[in-house]
Structure 1
Amino acid sequence: MGSGTPEIVNVAQYEAWNGYEGRHWADHHDRYDAGNGAFNGYLLEGAAIGPRDRVLDIGCGSGQVTRLAAGQARLGSATGVDLSAPMLARARSLAGEEGVANVTFEQGDAQVYPFATGAFDVAVSRFGVMFFADPVAAFGNIRRALRGGGRLAFLSMAPIAENDIGKVLAALPPLGHAPVGHDGGPLSLSEPDRVREVLEEAGFRSVACRKVHAEQVEGRDARDAGEFFAGWGPIRYNYGESPELVDIITEAMRPFERDGAVRLRGAAWLVTARA
């Protein structure tokens, strides 16, 4: 794998994930994993990792999926790649604390990272592939990193209206600009037709999309969840910081309080394909 300064083409994402956004995710990795980790079982099932597999985790963040993949590939290895230096530092620290020895973490842009051809048996991602500057080029690079017949499995967001978080976001003041679409935002792979178009153009075959649901724990109570979400990068970037914003989000979270936590129903696509 590479060393030194990574080649970056997705500059805006690089700046975000090495600035406030990346630090917030690294500092609150347990909170983000509590929200997204309920989908891990679907992802690992779709990836069907064998004990000797070499696994690539794209957009690995703080490395929870990478470590889980390494546990399944106990005689193989798992490599996590991400743009964010703060999150990768956290990933390495957590792997060390947990004694996971067959993992490595590399900073890089998956669209252009110089992976060795055929170096991996499986590529996975938990909500880390929706932000590519050029998704066809990125998935083409990932395909080249897989051996012939290698497997791809990833999770991407379903339409926002199918996620409870959409009801929370709807309570926020309007921004006055169009919602994020096919421009590298979180909903860029929220439609199966778009997913198939991108992956097939990138050289994948046997593309399948299955909708999956999971309960996402977002806080101890509405106030806890409201304070946390007010600090989430996209919210803070668009709305700034204010007690009024925390109050708005807190009230939007109240309908989802039950059994000692805020529990949102999340919907995602589990996508699988072959190289």
Structure 2
Amino acid sequence: MAEQPEIVIAPSNAAQSRAWDGDQGEFWAERAERFDEGVAAYHELFLDAAEIGPAARVLDVGCGSGKVTRDAARRAAAGWAHGVDLSAPLVDLARVLAQREGVANASFERADAQVHPFPTVDLVLSRHGAMFFGAPRDAFTHLGRALAPGGGLALLTWQPAEHNPWMGGFRSALSGGREGAPPVDGPGPLSMSEPAVVRALLESAGFERVRLDGLRERMYFGRDAADAFRFVTGQFSGLLAGLEAAQRERAEARLLALLTEHESERGVLFESAAWLVRARRP
């Protein structure tokens, strides 16, 4: 990993920074291709809806390994796309992949998008990243200031847990029912799942013409149940930590059974649902 300069982290994002710049970020970097494959059905829909112009200046928030940033840069061939993330391992990987693929107008930086000083941009994107802000109103107000007048915001966020059975299903299987879907309050995958909450948040941050469109696609978790099992147990390893051997064996058996139920000719697939959120700066 390249040495990273010190950056300013908002106090409300300190826990997220420790996680994403630590073991969680390492796990995502090691399995970046699998994470992109998981939500691949949403990818082109998201980019098309963002309406990236050929000379656009694009900011990708929570860019991860940079798939969205690179493809946005390709669409903005006479402009550029800049990806930011709290995870040094993911930012390092994003740079390597952009160089390998020859996407010269894509750049990456470890930064806290809630407080980092950005140049003026035409479009802010975030694919499943904006849900993790510690102080969402502050974050979106700050990002709005970076947008040129009339600039656009395009987000992909998860719909409520009942439309994403994988989300609570994995946690319940591994915890024996003690854990269900993640909470809707605080940073997390469901923090922007309720349309009224999203509209109120973005309007309070100064955005207008807020629009949410529902998308439903299948998520991919592996070639077969065994392959998906290795991936999911790694992602949710915290739920297995500290279990006695017999408890762990039962938890793993429950998960494997659930994954086996969702095997298909195309691999292990689960129904999922996301919001395509769009808004404009006045």
Are the aligned partners of 1:53 and 1:75 in contact in 2 as well (CA < 8 Å)?
Answer: yes
Q: Which stretch shifts more, 245-254 or 192-201?
A: 245-254
1:17 to 3, 20, 23: 20
2:84 to 81, 90, 101: 81
Shift of 1:87: 0.5
Shift of 1:47: 0.7
User: What CA deviation, in whole Å up to 9, does each residue of 1:161-198 have, x standing for no partner?
Assistant: 10131334333323369942221111000000000111
Percent of matched pairs sharing the same residue: 43
1:227 to 226, 230, 248: 230
Structure 1: how far apart are the matches of 2:103 and 2:80?
10
CA RMSD of aligned residues (A): 1.7
Matched, 1:248 2:232: no
Matched, 1:136 2:108: no
Amino acid of the structure 1 residue aligned with 2:144: R
User: What CA deviation, in whole Å up to 9, does each residue of 1:53-91 have, x standing for no partner?
Assistant: 000000000000001100100110000010000000110
Matches within 5 A, 1:171-182: 171-172=173-174, 173-175=176-178, 179-182=182-185
What is aligned with 1:264?
A: 270
TM-score (norm 2): 0.91
Matched, 1:114 2:120: no
Q: Which stretch shifts more, 121-130 or 164-173?
A: 164-173
1:169 to 168, 171, 187: 171
Structure 1: how far apart are the matches of 2:111 and 2:80?
18
Shift of 1:42: 2.0
Gaps of at least 5 residues in structure 2 are 243-247
Structure 1: how far apart are the matches of 2:30 and 2:192?
27
What is aligned with 1:152?
A: 153
TM-score (norm 1): 0.93
Are the aligned partners of 2:64 and 2:94 in contact in 1 as well (CA < 8 Å)?
Answer: yes
Are the aligned partners of 2:173 and 2:251 in contact in 1 as well (CA < 8 Å)?
Answer: no
Structure 2: how far apart are the matches of 1:270 and 1:44?
10
User: Which 4+ stretches in 1 moved above 4 angstroms?
Assistant: 176-179, 241-244
Structure 2: how far apart are the matches of 1:206 and 1:146?
15
User: What CA deviation, in whole Å up to 9, does each residue of 1:197-226 have, x standing for no partner?
Assistant: 110011100000011011211101112111
Matched, 1:69 2:80: no
Amino acid of the structure 1 residue aligned with 2:274: A
Structure 2: how far apart are the matches of 1:177 and 1:40?
27
